[in-house]
Amino acid sequence: MRDSGEFDVSSALLDWYDRHAREMPWRVAPADRAAGVMPDPYRIWLSEVMLQQTTVAAVRDYFVRFTTRWPTVQALAAAPDDQVMGEWAGLGYYARARNLLKCAQVVTEQHGGTFPDTYDALLNLPGIGPYTAAAISAIAFDRPETVLDGNVERVMARLFDIHDPLPGSKPQLKKHAAALTPAARPGDYAQAVMDLGATICTPKSPACGICPVQAPCAARAAGTQSDLPRKTPKKPKPMRYGHVYIAQSDNGAFLMERRPDKGLLGGMLGWPGSEWSDGPAEAPPFPCEWQVLPGEVRHTFTHFHLILRIWTTTLPVGWSHDDLIVMEKHAFRPSDLPTVMRKAYDLWRST
């Protein structure tokens, strides 16, 4: 950072935030916050878990649905697993939803329904790691904790023109971020840095011309802002193949499965199917006249691409099968499905 003794980065960011804070359903606007309004820790916690590796645009509607259905942590703690998983369907990283329910139950049963306010206590809760513990403590309780997410990493790497690649440079970036964290309004400051990273100090084509901290930015001076932060290269994603089987009874019931809690799409509803590999297809779950649908489903997960063929059949009323769920027509909600299973359903329905 340039002229570090003459430019107050924290004050500049807070001033910018006061004028440009984005509206969000969980956020207390800076003017209201200045008037003494405190956020609801339940809503801050819920939003922060939803925002893990997920954009604000994707989270917004999910947050509204969750808080409408479960307005308090006690209400969420009392919710059945399948309803929570169904509401989370489509958001991804489904371990978050399982840990969300666990955390709500721990807070309700062991903390009297009140979220702890310290970093260390929050860190002990399921689904809350270093970032989220700091974010809840700062935003919900205005404690001087330093958040370090992808935005803050990028902003710090550029402000101080740090070329060491992530994730190795994380401690160094954290040190700079901590040094800038103000004693006053740490909650608004945390949101200010993240808003800056999301709207101005963006990964590609940062808008340095309108940046409130362009003056002290070392990368801006060196012209390296578009190359920072450096990251270690990622491995290419392999292709996998598989089959799914959609069987419906004459009365409209589907045969479905609840996936095991651990692993990919853990705890989610889905169609029975083969393993996903480059090997040969497995037989359908029961002998029947199966018909393959034209076309295929393509989907990309975090670490592989997938191509699925869809098979279908009609079953007599009353069919059942070990390990499979008979989902009656009135109980089936396509929105309960994770996206890859939803794609298979959409292809089936369109033919």
Partner DNA sequence: TAGCCGTGGGA
Partner DNA sequence: TTCCCAAGGCT
CB of 324 to DNA, least distance (A): 20
Between 68 and 302, CB nearer to DNA: 302
Q: Considering only residues 1, 14, 85, 91, which one is a binding residue for DNA as defined by CB under 7 A? A: 91
Q: Considering only residues 76, 194, 269, 310, which one is a binding residue for DNA as defined by CB under 7 A? A: 194
Contact status: 191 vs DNA (CB under 7 A): yes
Read off the tokens for 91. 């958001």
**Residues 311-340 vs DNA: string with x where CB under 7 A?**
---------------------------xxx
Q: Which DSSP string do the residues of 154-174 spell out, in sequence order? A: HHHHHHTT--SPBTTTHHHHH
Contact status: 53 vs DNA (CB under 7 A): yes
How far from the centroid of its chain's Cα atoms is residue 243's Cα? 28
Q: Considering only residues 127, 187, 212, 272, which one is a binding residue for DNA as defined by CB under 7 A? A: 127
Contact status: 208 vs DNA (CB under 7 A): no
Contact status: 14 vs DNA (CB under 7 A): no
Between 114 and 226, CB nearer to DNA: 226
Decide: 308 and 344 in contact? Cβ < 8 Å. Answer: yes
CB of 210 to DNA, least distance (A): 15
Catalytic residue status for 48: yes
**HSE, side-chain direction, 13 A CA sphere, residue 76:** 30
Between 44 and 253, CB nearer to DNA: 44
164's CB contacts (< 8 A; 6+ apart) are 172, 230
Write the burial class of residue 195 (CB in 10 Å: 0-12 exposed, 13-18 middle, 19+ buried).
buried
Q: Which of 48, 87, 153, 257 is catalytic?
A: 48
CB of 53 to DNA, least distance (A): 4
**Beta strand extents in the chain (DSSP E only):** 239-249, 254-258, 269-270, 291-292, 297-300, 305-315, 325-327
**Residues 141-160 vs DNA: string with x where CB under 7 A?**
--------xxx--x------
Q: Which stretch binds DNA (CB under 7 A): 46-54, 71-79, 180-188, 307-315?
A: 46-54
Number of H helices, E strands in the chain: 14, 7
224's CB contacts (< 8 A; 6+ apart) are 158, 161, 163
Residue 25, preceding peptide bond in cis (omega within 30° of 0): no
How far is residue 210's CA from residue 13's CA, in Å, rounded to a whole number? 12
Instruction: Name the site residues for DNA (rule: CB under 7 A).
Output: 22, 24, 27, 47-48, 51-58, 89-95, 99, 126-133, 135, 149-151, 154, 191, 194-195, 197-198, 203-205, 231, 233-236, 263-266, 299-303, 338-340
Catalytic residues: 48
